[in-house]
Chain A
Amino acid sequence: MVEIKDLVFSYRRDGKPLFDGLSLKLESGNIYGLLGKNGAGKTTLLKVISGLLFKGKGEVTVLGKDPAGRSPGLLSKIFFLPEEFYLPPVRGIDYVRLYRPFYPAFKPELFESYARELEVDTTGRLGSLSYGQKKKFLIAFGLASGCSIVVLDEPTNGLDIPSKRQFRKLISGMIGESGEIGKDQIFIISTHQVRDLEHLIDPIIILDSGRIILNESLEELSKHFSMSIEKEEPETWKAGSGDVLYWEKVLGGYAVIRKGPSEGRELDIEVLFNALVSMTDRLEAENVIAGGAK
């Protein structure tokens, strides 16, 4: 559904490219979690996928089309909610009336249901809503638009604790009995707030300095990594020896990531992220993770 091959992208013609040969394949029926440090290129990647930025070199196809072509057919299947968004100062019902003609698969009854679930008033003026309420309004609209590709950049930023729970519940509710979202859909959720979206995002994509250092399902990751909370400080990892890859101090001991299959305890995505990002070069050298673009 989304395929990127050898993408080269730079904000300046003569500048160092942000992406230099990045490749990525996203399959339908998944909620991808796009993780990365500030400036890693998450938003830029989402913009390239959405056709808001153009590739320098390489190939980008979304539902078989080049997003830079900005064709209405493709745009009506992509819903993009950026971190800083815009809502015109109209009433919610007017927004729906004005924008739904652009989304042929939009379902008003779904929108009402999602808005109810997120506790958003759709009759009042959108300008008078808080940031979080506005965001929830757009999330409800986007989910009801029937888009095959839903791109959410930091969706839980600015949401209060109950709203984060509502958001998780809503997305979880969209996951079918088979454990997949609509088979023709992809959710790409970029976030710094990993804990907000734990148990929701899977597979995990980690972007670091313009490179994809990981694109794996949690199931696959648990075959390679295990996590435990230990009282004693583990021995520091050395290349080629021992199974401890990473540890960090947490409340009540040390969160330790080890090489080898996970038995019992679930992987903590935030700790795993810290492990992979802080030791990318060493893990690549050990062939624990794939080097460069994947």
Chain B
Amino acid sequence: MISKTSDKTGSKTGTKTSGKMSEILKANRIKALLERDIFLSTRSIVVTSITLGLLVIAITFVNNISINTGYSTLSTFATFFVFVGFAVTARSFSDMHSKERAYEWFMLPASILEKFLSKLLFTTVGWTLLFLAVYSISSLLGEVLGILAFGHRHPFFNPLHPDVWRVVLDYCIIQSVFLFGAAYFKRNNLVKTVLAVVLFFSVFAILLFLAGRFFFYGFFTDFVYHNGSGQYRFFFDWNTLPAGINRRLVDILRVVYTAVKFIYYALLAPFFWFFTYLRITGKEVRNGV
């Protein structure tokens, strides 16, 4: 005989609002989701860490052959951190898209917000901590091997350097686009997201160029091959601008720059997080029907 049970999820305690809140967001459930995700991904985490660690050791060691290779440990860190991070993010919602696993993921007693947040934390905070640890240790090993083999080294990687955290911040912002791609596309999420971003910026750049040509047609003096840079360039003659326009244009560009900066730092990630959340909320388990 099955024992009778009562609801222990918290809806009976506290005020109505806190009861409703605990239905949507509860730290214990996010913790349980993260524990599940980390445990089920242990093998991938170990394999990725070892592969990346060995690569970083090899790259650091090889670059110690000469001290004047222009090698930058921050650039290496940023390259691996950002691109592998995007690849990891792109697989975030593979459970949701899988014919076999989707029902299990949706039936797991946690809210959609909790499921979304657990994936976000896993691919931002989790990935950052993991990669910082892997990179710090392996680049240190690479430098030590460099000293032993060649007698010199590059400056050690400092995980607390502000530039490192600037990279982390940029990653967290742009990663939101890949998180959305992970929720939106069923298969080949990484490739499709990259293609969508490239397509978007291509269209945006073309439109911007056409608008520029339209509004400032008279001021584009020439489109010629520039001997100095070896590139084709537009020549925009500031001197041909009517008096006063020059300064006004600079002011406009300053406003545009501030707006773009605001959009990038304050709006871009929340915008994609919101639409990722909506996408998961509206997803049904149809198994291809």
Contact = CB atoms under 8 A, between A and B. Distances in A.
Given A50-B107, A70-B106, A94-B39, 17 more contacts: A47-B285, A52-B285, A71-B111, A72-B9, A76-B109, A86-B100, A99-B36, A99-B108, A101-B29, A102-B108, A102-B109, A103-B109, A104-B9, A146-B3, A182-B3, A184-B4, A185-B2
A76 B11 CA distance: 12
Contacts of B6: 105
A176 B107 CA distance: 28
Interface in B77-103: 98-103
B110 A54 contact: no
A110 B4 CA distance: 13
Interface in A83-138: 84-86, 88, 90, 94, 98-99, 101-105, 107, 110
Interface residues of B, number: 39
Nearest to B7: A73
Contacts of B36: 98-99
Given A88-B40, A103-B109, A104-B9, A72 B23 contact: yes
B9 A176 contact: no
Given A70-B111, A72-B23, A103-B109, A80 B286 contact: no
A201 interface: no
Interface string B1-38: 11111111101000000000001101011001001100
B289 interface: yes
A183 interface: yes
B284 interface: yes
Interface string B247-289: 0000000000000000000000000000000000000111001
Given A53-B284, A183-B4, A98 B109 contact: no
Interface in A235-258: none
A285 interface: no
A76 B9 contact: yes
Contact of A75 (B5, B8, B108): B108
B104 interface: yes
Nearest to B98: A86
